[in-house]
Amino acid sequence: MSKNMKAQKAEETRSILLKEAENLFALRGYDAVSVDDICQAAGVSKGGFYHHFSSKEALFLELLDRWLSHLDEELLKIESSTSTVEEAIARMTDVAGYVIEQAEGSYGILFEFWNKARHEEKIWQSAVSYFERYRKFFLKILKKGRENGEFQPFDLELYSQIMVSLAVGVFLQAALDPRGSDWKASLRRMIGIILKELKSAQA
């Protein structure tokens, strides 16, 4: 077997383990699922599991990383390709709306992440690192707006925290009540209110 074929096979095995583990975690909960359960569902030996993941916790964290990787990629594209803050935030809102729509079938595993973050230090640190990363991203975008003269917000740190809190809050509502509103449209309107406030700060 060539190196390329071996690499492809290894990636397929890793993907199967992640998929089956995600299904089991969402169905039973993290604590109720063992490495043996994951191996059995994936048709992979225990040795094969530990070839790819050092522990169940490591697999759990990779699920979170993979789930958010699309969002990270899109935010980097927005940062490098937009000329105004209003354009950047409008595109970020669309990306966030897409994430909400795509997550509808994955809320079980996300609730497991939030639950485990309350009790597991590594998972808590990983979850918090994402909030901090997105807060810094918003802060960078807002600073760009100030430099461009688009607005003069009195507290950039506060506005960046508001935006992260808004995104998380809408996401949580969408998870608990997915049919309760057009959450993507609601998020767009809420962001519009923030932008109006930012512009009024010029006066």
CA pair distance 135, 21, nearest whole angstrom: 30
3-state helix, strand, coil in the chain (%, to 5): 80, 0, 20
Same domain, 8 and 41: yes
Q: What is the largest CA-CA distance in the chain?
A: 69
Same domain, 192 and 108: yes
Task: Indicate the Cα dihedral angle 9, 13, 18, 20, nearest 10°.
Answer: 130
For 58-67, the pLDDT digits (tens) are 999 898 888 7
Confidence class of residue 203 from pLDDT cuts 50, 70 and 90? very low
Same domain, 85 and 35: no
Indicate the residue among 53, 69, 93 that finishes a domain. 53
For 155-194, the pLDDT digits (tens) are 889 989 998 899 888 888 888 888 888 888 888 889 888 8
Q: Residue 169 sits in which domain range?
A: 61-200
CATH value at residue 184: 1.10.357.10
Indicate the residue among 11, 26, 53 that finishes a domain. 53
Same domain, 47 and 87: no
Same domain, 107 and 141: yes
For 100-125, the pLDDT digits (tens) are 776 666 667 777 888 888 888 888 88
Indicate the residue among 21, 37, 53 that finishes a domain. 53
Same domain, 47 and 72: no
Question: What is the count of structural domains for the chain?
Answer: 2
Share of the chain above pLDDT 90, in %: 22
Task: Indicate the Cα dihedral angle 150, 153, 158, 161, nearest 10°.
Answer: -10
Same domain, 111 and 15: no
Same domain, 73 and 168: yes
Same domain, 47 and 133: no
Residue 106's pLDDT is: 66
Other C-beta atoms closer than 10 Å to the C-beta of 84 total 12
Confidence class of residue 48 from pLDDT cuts 50, 70 and 90? very high
Using the predicted structure, report yes or no on whether residue 54 has a pLDDT greater than 50.
Answer: yes
* More confident site: 36 or 195: 36
* More confident site: 142 or 97: 142
Same domain, 45 and 87: no
For 21-45, the pLDDT digits (tens) are 989 988 888 889 999 999 999 999 9
Check if the beta carbon of residue 53 is closer than 8 Å to that of residue 17. Answer: yes
Closest CA to 68 of 16, 20, 113, 33: 113
Average pLDDT over the chain, rounded to an integer: 85
Q: What is the pTM of this model?
A: 0.75
CA pair distance 191, 194, nearest whole angstrom: 5
Same domain, 142 and 178: yes
Question: What sign does the CA torsion over 74, 77, 81, 82 have?
Answer: positive
Same domain, 86 and 5: no
CATH value at residue 7: 1.10.10.60
**How far is the CA of 37 from the CAs of 2, 13, 34, 67, 164, in angstroms?**
31, 15, 5, 22, 36
Residue 7's pLDDT is: 79
